[in-house]
Structure 1
Amino acid sequence: METISFGTDGWRATLEEFTTPRVRMVGQAVATYLADQGLEGPVAVGYDARETSRGFAEELSRTLCANGFDVLLADRDRPTPLVAYAIADRDLAGGLVITASHNPPEYNGVKFIPEDGAPALPAVTDAIAERLAEPEPLPEDEHGTTREVDFAEPHADAAIELVESITGSTDLSALTAAYDAMHGSGRDTTDTLLERAGATLERYRCERDPEFGGGSPEPAAENLGDLIAAVTDDESDVDLGIANDGDADRIAVVTPERGYIDENLFFAALYDYLLETESGAAVRTVSTTYLIDRVAEAHGESVREVPVGFKWVAEAMAEGDALVGGEESGGFTVRGHVREKDGVLMALLASAMHAAEPLDDRVDRLLSEHGTVVQDKISVDCPDSEKQRVLTELEDEIPETVAGTAVEDINTADGFKLLLADGSWLLVRPSGTEPVLRVYAEATDEDRVRELLEAGEGLLEPLV
């Protein structure tokens, strides 16, 4: 039981630790938690494209059924946001998804999604962790049943309806898009949705490969070479590139002029676009660009900053009826949808945005109005068991200046964010999904960002 730990987005581990007996214990804990909460409805179970995911999902289903719950099991691997939508749409008791998201193939994971379809907050995951135990089946005549269902079509209907309400049209018949599923569960889901809206599609890595081609299904620029080349080639007729991570809750966007668009810039463009017809605040994580704040100020709106983890974004969106919520790693959702990051919905919305006005033009305009913003991050290896010690010691080592600039303020909402006198910032925080510390920096040019990242790495090296 001590091996099972719910981090930023569920429990993830290598297959040496992520075993069938432990998955059954998670299933039992969730069943006990739901029963203690008086929730008796069916439970959704989904899974990603990894070799072991279907088997683990079936183990969860059997454990839940043995506790008296009916289970709606995904008919095939599907994106995590489809399961989240199904939970809210069908008034389910909650759901579980077997996925390790963007982690390499030797990992797997499980996340619990409560009855509102939003990510589980620590009070919930802590309550589940407290109930970890060997399965305790009821008498067989009290067992629930498992039924396989298609989570894709209802989600697609909702995505079309929502985007039409925002944009006025989801006619993408004039758009040629390239889509890279990275061999993950977005295949036959995101691309099918774009085709349903009329787009012409070029597909990349849209075949299931549990090994993800030998890499990780992480939609970073260095992993999307073929997609970027297809969109930026002068001879290409592709208008826009879209990629999803392994469980398709995140999005990456590629344009003809910029190539890979930094997720911060896409977030700013998305918020600016939504504010043309809607009003409302934005919620961003502490690691996300201040450009969002500048866009908000220009429209007379506000921004709420929260720790990293979409659960905090979702909570703040509910508290303030925010228009949009997002994080620099490519996870976004909008008002009117479930409060869970959704790379499938965002693929449709990004395409509709681009069809209305090229994203490159909107980003150029935003940077012209609000100033150039550059952000980057690095990782410093650090075992999970050492993270808290390093951060505790770092608190006593915070300098008065960083890379020659005075530290004006320190934000401790999630690690240490040093706000500098020139408007730049440096953030050090622990990853909730990997044995590393993250170092982020934002400034007005790449050279300055590199200086800040080197300074941050220098702060950590003596401590790690």
Structure 2
Amino acid sequence: METISFGTDGWRATLEEFTTPRVRMVGQAVATYLDDDGLEGPVAIGYDARETSRGFAEELSRVLCANGFDVLLSDRDRPTPLVAHAIVDRDLAGALVITASHNPPEYNGVKFIPDDGAPALPAVTDAIADRLAEPESLPEADHGTVREVDFAPSHADAVFDLVESITGSADLSGLSVAYDAMHGSGRGTTDAVLERAGADLERVRCERDPDFGGGSPEPAAENLETLIATVTDDSGVDLGIANDGDADRIAVVTPERGYLDENLFFAALYDYLLEDASGSAVRTVSTTYLIDRIAEAHGEPVREVPVGFKWVAEAMADGDALVGGEESGGFTVRGHVREKDGVLMALLAAAMHADEPLDERVDRLLETHGTVVQDKISVDCPDSEKTRVLDDLETAIPETVADTDVEDVNTADGFKLLLADGSWLLVRPSGTEPVLRVYAEAGDEKRVRELLEAGRGLLEPLV
């Protein structure tokens, strides 16, 4: 039981630790939690494209059924946001998804999504962790049933309806889009939505490979070389889109910039939505202050929350926010399930680009609100040492960083040092990997590099 720990977005571990008996214990804990909470409806179970994911999903189905719950099991690996949408669409008690998202193939994971379709908050995951136990079984006559379901059609319809309500049309006729599934669960889902909208589609890595081509299904620039080359080599492709392994995140590639920083895409998205709507934005502590500048220009507030989309989702509900997002490429908008959705964002990004090239919108935003550059690095740190290192850092925060005074320290999630020149440096523990993240934002790349190296210099003596 000590091995099972729910981090930023569920429990993830290597297959040495992520074993069938432990997955079954999680299934039993969820069944007990739902029963204790008086939730009797069906439970959805989804899974990603990893070799072991279908088998783990079937194990969860058996445990839930033995506890009296009917199960809707995805007919194939599908994006996590499709499962979250199914909860609300079908009035389910909740869902379990077997996925390790962007982690390499030697990992797997499991996450529970409550009956509102939003990520589970710590009160829920703590309650589940408290109920970890060996599986139990009701008399066979009281067992539930398992039915395989295709979650794609209803989600696609909802995505089209929402994008049409925002843009006036989801027609992408005449737009050429290259889509990279990274061999993950977006294949046959995101590309199908784009094609349904009329886009001329070029597919990249849209075949299932449980090993993701030998790498991680992480849509970072260094992992999208083929997609970037396809969009930037004057081949006539207008836009590039990629999803991570379970397609809840998006990466965008434009003809002029190549890989479009997720912060800049978030800014473009919020600016676009504000053309015909009003509302606040929710961003994580690691996400650009450019969002705040855009909001201020429109008289709108911004809510800053810790890293983790569960906090974004909670704040969106509290304030009926127009949009919520994080610098790692996870976004959702008002009117949709409060879970990051890379399929929805693919269609919306393409519709935005069809209306006005994203490069032009970003150029205008930077000209209006000032240039913003952000980057991050990782410093290796065992999970067991993260708390100690951060405790030690609390007493080692300097008065200046990279020759600039530290004006304030935000401790909402790790330590965010706000500097006198308007730049900032953030150090926080990863919730999914044995590393500490170091983020920096400033007005140019040279300054960001200086801040990141200063952050590394603060951490390495403490690890």
Could you say which residue in structure 2 is the equivalent of 1:379? 378
Alpha-carbon distance in structure 1 between the residues aligned to 2:23 and 2:453: 40
Could you say which residue in structure 1 is the equivalent of 2:291? 292
Cα distance, 1:25 vs. partner? Answer: 0.1
- Equivalent positions of 1:20-419 (< 5 A) are 20-234=20-234, 236-419=235-418
Alpha-carbon distance in structure 1 between the residues aligned to 2:28 and 2:361: 49
Stretches (4+) displaced over 4 A: none
Alpha-carbon distance in structure 2 between the residues aligned to 1:174 and 1:328: 30
Alpha-carbon distance in structure 2 between the residues aligned to 1:230 and 1:203: 11
Partner-residue secondary structure (3-state), 1:246: coil
Paired letter, 2:305: V
Alpha-carbon distance in structure 2 between the residues aligned to 1:232 and 1:392: 45
Cα distance, 1:428 vs. partner? Answer: 0.2
Cα distance, 1:174 vs. partner? Answer: 1.3
Partner-residue secondary structure (3-state), 1:51: coil
Paired letter, 1:433: T
- Equivalent positions of 1:406-445 (< 5 A) are 406-445=405-444
Alpha-carbon distance in structure 2 between the residues aligned to 1:138 and 1:19: 24
Cα distance, 1:99 vs. partner? Answer: 0.1
Cα deviation code 1:191-214 (max 9, x no counterpart): 000000000100000000000000
Cα deviation code 1:220-242 (max 9, x no counterpart): 000000000000002x1100000
Paired letter, 1:312: W
Cα distance, 1:317 vs. partner? Answer: 0.1
Alpha-carbon distance in structure 1 between the residues aligned to 2:49 and 2:15: 15
Alpha-carbon distance in structure 2 between the residues aligned to 1:68 and 1:200: 47
Cα deviation code 1:231-262 (max 9, x no counterpart): 0002x110000000000000000000000000
Cα deviation code 1:311-361 (max 9, x no counterpart): 000000000000000000000000000000000000000000000000000
Alpha-carbon distance in structure 2 between the residues aligned to 1:96 and 1:27: 8
Partner-residue secondary structure (3-state), 1:4: coil
Alpha-carbon distance in structure 2 between the residues aligned to 1:357 and 1:205: 27
Alpha-carbon distance in structure 1 between the residues aligned to 2:236 and 2:335: 33
Paired letter, 1:132: L
Partner-residue secondary structure (3-state), 1:297: helix
Alpha-carbon distance in structure 1 between the residues aligned to 2:89 and 2:192: 21
- Unaligned runs of at least 5 residues, structure 2: none
Partner-residue secondary structure (3-state), 1:210: coil
Paired letter, 2:6: F
Paired letter, 2:401: V
Alpha-carbon distance in structure 2 between the residues aligned to 1:351 and 1:461: 42
Partner-residue secondary structure (3-state), 1:186: coil
Partner-residue secondary structure (3-state), 2:218: coil
Cα distance, 1:171 vs. partner? Answer: 0.6
Cα deviation code 1:374-404 (max 9, x no counterpart): 0000000000000000000000000000000
Cα deviation code 1:121-160 (max 9, x no counterpart): 0000000000000001000000000000000000000000
Paired letter, 2:362: V
Paired letter, 1:33: Y
Alpha-carbon distance in structure 1 between the residues aligned to 2:160 and 2:147: 26
Cα distance, 1:67 vs. partner? Answer: 0.1
Paired letter, 1:375: Q
Alpha-carbon distance in structure 2 between the residues aligned to 1:26 and 1:112: 9
Paired letter, 1:74: S
Cα distance, 1:216 vs. partner? Answer: 0.1
Alpha-carbon distance in structure 1 between the residues aligned to 2:197 and 2:117: 25
Alpha-carbon distance in structure 2 between the residues aligned to 1:375 and 1:356: 27
Paired letter, 2:69: F
Alpha-carbon distance in structure 1 between the residues aligned to 2:116 and 2:150: 19
| TM-score, normalization by structure 2 | 1.00
Partner-residue secondary structure (3-state), 1:276: coil
Alpha-carbon distance in structure 1 between the residues aligned to 2:219 and 2:287: 17
Alpha-carbon distance in structure 2 between the residues aligned to 1:397 and 1:88: 47
Alpha-carbon distance in structure 2 between the residues aligned to 1:230 and 1:136: 53
Cα distance, 1:287 vs. partner? Answer: 0.1
Partner-residue secondary structure (3-state), 2:119: coil
Paired letter, 2:100: A
| TM-score, normalization by structure 1 | 1.00
Could you say which residue in structure 2 is the equivalent of 1:14? 14
The percentage of aligned residue pairs carrying the same residue is 88
Alpha-carbon distance in structure 2 between the residues aligned to 1:34 and 1:238: 48
Cα distance, 1:42 vs. partner? Answer: 0.1
Q: How many residues align?
A: 463
Tell me how large the CA RMSD over aligned residues is.
Answer: 0.3
